[in-house]
Amino acid sequence: MFIGLLGGSFNPIHNGHLHIAKYVLEALALDRIIFIPTGDPPHKPATSLAPASHRLEMVKLATESMDSFVVDDQEALSPGISYSVDTVTRLKGDSPSGTELGFIIGLDAFLEFPSWKQATHILNICHLIVCSRPGTTFTQLQALAFLPKIPLTQLDNLDQQIGTHQDIALPSGSAITLLSVPPNTVSASHIREQCALQRPIGDWLPPSVESYIIQHQVYQ
């Protein structure tokens, strides 16, 4: 099986997140995608971050109609800091033999990947799926020393959406897939701003998530 892992604060989960998940699922023929909401900060919570219990429930509501989408709640329920390497290692250990994990990451975050805790170990135990993000370009990957040299024309084609994806084999035997995802302009911060102003948000969210936000007065 080939299973995608999609982590994030999902503050709140919106149609943009679902758009990425559906695109990756179909483009790479994944068997399923596991959504992994982050937990509460261990110290003073950020003022704009809804409690993990709310964010977890909204992810469950947003994905309940898709058989290929499941939710892992361990980061959301953990009282301490959760690192991606720990979550990936746990899920790898829990998966049947022969299962390949695909860690889905935005291009903006991947450019900072070398600074992650045990980044090399993440690369060794799972396949990275790097998705295009507004404000960043695949040509910026030429600055990452741990990647093999990738022809500039191939990266530029991804930026121009001439090509849809590019596979990169690493010396360790693992692999990275660069995936050009059709743009989606939905923003969680914009949704939170509209909630605070008590304006409609239904265009950017599944109806079940919109109802939950209104019922529980999240972000208001």
pLDDT at 183: 87
Q: What is the pLDDT of residue 176?
A: 96
* pLDDT digits 0-9 by tens, 20-38: 999 999 999 999 999 999 9
Is the pTM for the entire model greater than 0.75?
Answer: yes
DSSP string across the chain: -EEEEEEE--TT--HHHHHHHHHHHHHTT-SEEEEEE----SSSPPTTSPPHHHHHHHHHHHHTT-TTEEE--HHHH-SS---HHHHHHHHHHHSPTT-EEEEEEEHHHHTTGGGSTTHHHHHHHSEEEEEP-TT--GGGGGG-TTSPP--HHHHHHHHTTSSSEEEEE-TTS-EEEEE-PPP----HHHHHHHHHTT---GGGS-HHHHHHHHHHTTT-
Kindly report the CATH number that applies to the domain delimited by 2-184. 3.40.50.620
> CA–CA separation, 16 vs 29, rounded Å?
20
Candidate from 4-8, 100-104, 170-174, 213-217 with smallest mean pLDDT = 170-174
Q: Per residue in 55-89, pLDDT tens?
A: 999 999 999 999 999 999 999 999 888 899 999 99
pLDDT of residue 185: 86
Q: What's the pLDDT at 46? A: 60
Q: What does the pLDDT average to over 201-205?
A: 96
pLDDT of residue 152: 92
Which burial class, exposed, middle or buried, applies to 87 when counting CB atoms under 10 A from its CB (0-12, 13-18, 19+)?
buried
Is residue 48's pLDDT more than 90?
no
Contacting residues for 44 by C-beta, under 8 A, at least 6 apart: none
The whole-number average pLDDT for the span 178-200 is 93
Per the prediction, the chain carries an average pLDDT of 93
CB atoms within 10 A of CB 85: 16
Domain boundaries along the sequence of the chain: 2-184
- Stretch 96-120: mean pLDDT, rounded? 94
